[in-house]
Structure 1
Amino acid sequence: MARIGAKNTTGWKATIAVAMSNYIEAGSIIAIATSLGFWQAEFGFSDGFAGLLAALSANAFGAAIGAIIGGPLCDRLGRKFIYTYDLMVYMVGVLIAAFAVNSGMLMAAFVITGIAVGAGVPASWTYIAEEAPSEKRAAHVGTAQLAWSVGPAIGFFLAALLEPLGLFGSRIIFVHLFVVAFITWWVRQGLSESKRWTETNNVRTQNPSAKVLGGSGFRGLFSRKKNITALIFLVGVYGFWNTVAGQAGIFMPRVYDAAGFTDSQQQFFLQSFLWLCTVIGTYFGFMALADRMSRRLLYFIGAVMGIAGWVVLVYVPASTGTMFAFAILWGLASGIGAQAFYGLWTAELFSTGYRASAQGFLFFTARIMVGILSYGFPVWLTTMGLHGLGAILIAILSVSLLVGTIWAPKTQGKTLEEIEEERYGSEKETARV
């Protein structure tokens, strides 16, 4: 099986197979978002427990734990090690969710699924960037963002179609994620290891006393001021944006209720349309333009559109036009915005020896930020109202806009080796492998 896959799973096909981690991640979040009300009605838990479930899921703390474990393992054992085994854990989690009969099983399912997602996503972003040609790196990295967009588009569409079935329909969605995960796992068996990681690992294994440009692992990552600066920059870009996007991903039906748009089936169709806009923004925006035009300008456009979408939703009276305006603005912005640039810049700004560790640490930090807000979000939405909580979300997005626009790195068109040489080659001391 592996030999057959190895002959076929190369180039764009390999990129797509690895990018499916993002479909699965987003699909998990949407499955939770669309089913949470049904679970709550079935098991009778409070808004506080609903927030705890969301906080411990693939949307937040569960993914954070997986990322902080999976990132360093990906650097030490290889990219292929993670994306070979993480989906096995994921499939266990979604099956438990599909057949959950009480809130304890549901909690276990969300945590297990979240850990698997957190371990897989850093590996996928890293592998894609390392295998992509330098002149098309954004296009290849954008494939992960595209998969992340397709997941919710399909997830919400399925939720809308299956909404009349209630909780049973939600269980079907979790089963669909199991099937997608199994197919993805099967295809991935034919993938080869990242060439860049293999070269770096060969240096370490053949000559343990040798030094590698930039160092390796968390020790190399945190030993340089320029890495700390890059981490702070990327938290400003992705961590703040994702804090808002995480709430939109899992609590959007509640936000729509607060805005006066209360029909659940219409909400799901609107969300499917929103994510279709994200697919369009990703393909025709980020993938088509980020290798050719000013990345600073493209990032700024996406960030402004995202803020404009939330201003419309929060402050303009609810109507069909208002909801579609929000869906178009936020959807397109998410396609060319912070998450796609985060995946690209994280791959470019860190050495091969700790590229996945940096991804894991940043993903961990971003998901912790989401989890903190998620824990109280359902309650705060009730007590503060959409205007009060919406103002906070808009302020958080504004931080992401400013950080990414002002400090966007100049890495476009350069190979990863050229970027590493520029960032680490001038240093007299390099960390040991």
Structure 2
Amino acid sequence: MARTSPAPNQPEPPIEKRLWKVATLSGMASYLDAALIVSIGVNLAIYRDAYDMGVWMAGAISAIVTICIAVGSLVGGRLADVFGRRRLYNLDILCYAVGAIIITLAPDDITLLVGVLLAGLAAGADLPTSLAVVSDAAPDHARGRLIAFTQVMWMLGIIVVVFAGFALSDTGMLGARLITAHLAVAALLTWHLRSRLELATGPDPEQDRVTTEKPAEQQGVALKNVWTRAALVPMLATFAFYVTWGLGANTMGQFTTYLLVTVSGASQSVATGINLACLPIGLLLTLAFVRIADGPRRDKMFYVATVVQIAAFAIGTLTLGAIVGFLVFYVLYQLSYPFAGEANYKVWSQLTLPADTRGTTQGITYAVSRGVFAGVAFVTPALLDRSPSLLLWVITGCMALSAIAGVYIVRVLVPRAAPDVTAPADVRVAQT
């Protein structure tokens, strides 16, 4: 049995600064992923007016960014396992920077679309690659906290862009360009720091954990390794959790304001204010999750939070149309999802998936899930128009299914994880 956390009565050992540096630079993949999606949403109306877009082009840009992230995750995770994670780790972020520059300077909608395609593909490719790099770099006692920290970066990406969009809302295209320019600058700075990161090859006698690139002759993982029981079962289980939980989370992320305005009768300013007020709650509680991610409280909090999450959606459905009921639902959701959401998926994936196929398998779960989210988002406005309560009951059911999948992962897969699952694959962080 793999040991994933210290004994209940023992404090978690401290994490070295160099590992936090790896987690931060890898977490920029999550930051830039979230920031790209939100920035397209925040700037879409400005792009539509500035480029005289038709409705189909506006819709295409919104859908394509999600689809490209899905495709990038699928291809990038596999390429990282075949050609080496360090190589893709640096290339992904550089391609993202180029895409963000194209978006920022785009003179027309076609050029904008090219930038979105490139940045979306690169963001998707970097997600499984960067998580695998963190997992490979992390000792057993710190893996959960370092992986969970990438979720904090994801929250920061949302918050920074939302607040920037709010502050620059009266500046038109200049504000839109400033928002995406910040993505380009952040990506270039991350690329520079990643390229200077001291990642070494070969065994390190001073470390019992080994974390960076395989020698060239050892690189490349046979695709058949993905379809073994050791890889397939945790891949399917983590996918089942992420896709069912993510259907609700993605719907709320994209359509909370739309729901409040069209169903509950709130004004646009009230709906935006509710979103802004609740974002810091999610950030603070995600930081709290980082503190417990390697200990037994992680799983105990999951049990409590997943029940609260289901109850929150049930309350939202039963009180549909009442702003007070929606507020109760939304606050409960913000209090629960940091302990029963994507951060758990990231940690469980690293604890249960074999190290040599981690990039490929997590790339598959990310890609298929994001594809499902994009398809559901496309029909969500029509479903809300036809029957908002039916949509919310379906989401409530999805949250219940995610709870079942999560309990199976916690009770069965994590305790069964073989020692080679928590062993590093192809990278280590050099001592400095």
TM-score of the two chains, using structure 1 as the length reference: 0.82
CA deviations over 1:184-243 (Å, ceiling 9, x no partner): 2222122234877878834x726x9xxxxxx93422111x12422222211111122223
Q: Aligned to 2:344, which of 338, 341, 346?
A: 341
Mapped to 1, the partners of 2:422 and 2:25 lie a distance apart of: 27
Superposed, 1:3-402 pairs within 5 Å as 10-42=18-50, 43-46=52-55, 50-57=58-65, 60-193=66-199, 201-202=214-215, 205=217, 216-222=221-227, 224-260=228-264, 262-284=266-288, 286-316=289-319, 321-322=324-325, 324-381=327-384, 383-402=385-404
Shift of 1:264: 4.0
Mapped to 2, the partners of 1:165 and 1:342 lie a distance apart of: 38
Mapped to 2, the partners of 1:166 and 1:260 lie a distance apart of: 29
Mapped to 2, the partners of 1:166 and 1:386 lie a distance apart of: 33
Q: Label 1:410 to 1:398 Cα distance change in 2 as closer, same or farther (>3 A).
A: closer
Mapped to 1, the partners of 2:315 and 2:107 lie a distance apart of: 40
Q: CA RMSD in A?
A: 3.1
Name the aligned partner's letter for residue 77 of structure 2: G
Q: Label 1:376 to 1:100 Cα distance change in 2 as closer, same or farther (>3 A).
A: farther
Determine if contact 1:36/1:50 at 8 Å carries over to the other structure.
yes
Name the aligned partner's letter for residue 118 of structure 1: G
Mapped to 1, the partners of 2:107 and 2:400 lie a distance apart of: 42
CA deviations over 1:398-422 (Å, ceiling 9, x no partner): 221221123425676999845469x
TM-score of the two chains, using structure 2 as the length reference: 0.82
Name the aligned partner's letter for residue 216 of structure 1: V
Q: Label 1:288 to 1:179 Cα distance change in 2 as closer, same or farther (>3 A).
A: same
5+ residue gaps, structure 1: 1-7, 209-214, 422-433
Q: Aligned to 1:408, which of 395, 407, 410?
A: 410
Determine if contact 1:280/1:335 at 8 Å carries over to the other structure.
no
Name the aligned partner's letter for residue 375 of structure 2: I
Mapped to 1, the partners of 2:17 and 2:149 lie a distance apart of: 15
How many pairs were matched up? Answer: 400
Q: Label 1:199 to 1:25 Cα distance change in 2 as closer, same or farther (>3 A).
A: closer
Determine if contact 1:127/1:194 at 8 Å carries over to the other structure.
no
5+ residue gaps, structure 2: 1-15, 202-208, 424-432
Name the aligned partner's letter for residue 18 of structure 1: S
Name the aligned partner's letter for residue 177 of structure 2: R
Mapped to 2, the partners of 1:400 and 1:70 lie a distance apart of: 26
Determine if contact 2:140/2:422 at 8 Å carries over to the other structure.
no
Mapped to 1, the partners of 2:122 and 2:128 lie a distance apart of: 11
- Determine what percentage of the aligned residue pairs are the same residue: 21
Determine if contact 1:306/1:330 at 8 Å carries over to the other structure.
yes
